[in-house]
């Protein structure tokens, strides 16, 4: 049986919207970005955790 790595994530409200990051077991940030909405940031985290295309990408937090 293959052991899957564990990840944690962080959502932080900033002036322009929300910043998100995904952290591995060693405490390294492996993905991050920003979005104007909390829902958008949460979706980016979930896509990243599923291995989706949001890794190391971010949407502009404004404009």
pLDDT at res. 52 = 58
User: What pTM was computed for the model?
Assistant: 0.74
pLDDT tens digits, one per residue of 15-63: 999 999 999 999 999 999 999 999 999 999 999 998 854 444 445 444 4
Question: Is the Cα dihedral 20, 10, 30, 53 positive or negative?
Answer: negative
* DSSP conformation class of 36: S
Q: Which residue in this structure is represented by tokens 């049986």?
A: 1
Whole-angstrom distance, CA of residue 1 vs CA of residue 59: 37
């Amino acid at each position: 049986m293959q052991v899957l790595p564990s990840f944690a994530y962080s959502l932080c409200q900033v002036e322009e919207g929300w910043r998100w990051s995904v952290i591995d077991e060693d405490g390294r940030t492996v993905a991050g970005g920003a979005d104007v909405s909390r829902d958008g940031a949460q979706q980016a985290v979930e896509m990243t955790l599923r291995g989706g295309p949001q890794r190391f990408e971010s949407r502009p937090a404004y404009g």
